[in-house]
Amino acid sequence: MHFLDQAKIYVKSGSGGPGAVSFRREKFIEYGGPDGGNGGKGGDIVFEAVPGLNTLIDFRYTQHFKAPRGKGGAGSNMTGAGGEDLVIKVPVGTQILSEDKEHVLLDFTRVGQREIFLRGGDGGRGNASYKTSTNRAPRQHGTGWPGEEAWVWLRLKLLADAGLLGLPNAGKSTFINAVSNAKAKVGAYAFTTTRPQLGVVSHRGREFVMADIPGLIEGAADGAGIGDRFLGHIERCRVLLHLVDANAEDVADAYRIVRDELEAYGAGLVDKPEVVALNKADTMDDELLDALSDELEAECGCRPFRISGATGAGVEEVLDAIAAHIGTLDAEAGGDEEKSAWSPL
């Protein structure tokens, strides 16, 4: 299945049904009078977040959504049937944006969340409702209120506990494949990852979701490389894992480039808790690793972990640090006792 995280669609709620013009005609009943019923209400446009979806690809092929209109009223004061609501199912993490992308209209952050986006039009009045003391046999009726319509953008921001960052070829795909059930593509060239990947990490009896996004390069905020389009997928991450390739010419500069792009992007990414790791540590000796760790620590302000996604060295310690951050944030948010009390064994 192809990954698509943005789609533009047209939605229109149903119009109300027309009211009826009818008069009561029964044998032996004089002055029957009007008995036209009201029209039915049009269907609403409803968005619902459902499990099992992680792409908006369906909206590439179906872009127009129209709810049915209400049925017309009938004699004997019968109200017309209402139009059925049109439920549009979207992945958890989807935002509904205005056509100019300036305003977030709805934000779906949990499974089962259901929101009415456009309300269907009310049904028109039947002629029975127009009867007055001076107008005993009205023939006017309402045609029903029109529905609402809009062009909107759907934008998917994947929900994950931890997000992977780094320059291209920092070893992010290898790492997420090693610690989770993800099957990210791995290759010895830049931008092997062209779309975000999600993986579920099982660690010391707990599980959390990790997201891997395409690598960033200098100028990504201005569109260089794949750009910063996919940074939106880690806006909701609670902790970031920043991988730095130990074979980089300047590890401090490699770290700084990514941090500068996060700052240029905004959305509070630079303020998120961060775990820094020096990856591919199996390719050099301890003396050189010590020197590189000192350089990186001077830049990031914390001692980086030494890991190897290929051999698994140091991976457990990094997962401990990530899970500890998640446990702390659960406690601050008032999470359950089991989550807030988590600590690495």
Annotated binding site for GTP: 166-173, 212-215, 279-282, 308-310
d(CA 85, CA 45): 6
Handedness of CA 100, 102, 106, 107 (dihedral sign): positive
Interhelix angle 286-300/251-265, rounded to 10 degrees, is 30
211: nearest Cα among 227, 190, 195: 195
- Sign (positive/negative) of CA torsion 86, 91, 92, 98? negative
Q: What six digits make up the tokens of 44?
A: 């609403």
Q: Using CA of residue 214, residue 215, residue 219, residue 221, what is the dihedral sign?
A: positive
Binding-site residue numbers for Mg(2+) are 173, 193
> Is the CB of residue 90 less than 8 Å from the CB of residue 48?
yes
Annotated binding site: 166-173, 193, 212-215, 279-282, 308-310
Long-range Cβ pairs for the range 100-109 (8 Å, 24+): 101/153, 105/152, 106/47, 108/47, 108/49, 109/49, 109/159, 109/236
What is the DSSP code string of 53-97? ----THHHH--EEEPPPPPP-BTTTBPPPPPPPEEEEEETTEEEE
| 3-class DSSP assignment, residue 258 | helix
Question: Other CB atoms closer than 10 Å to residue 93's CB: what's the count?
Answer: 23
Structure tokens at 79: 């109200």
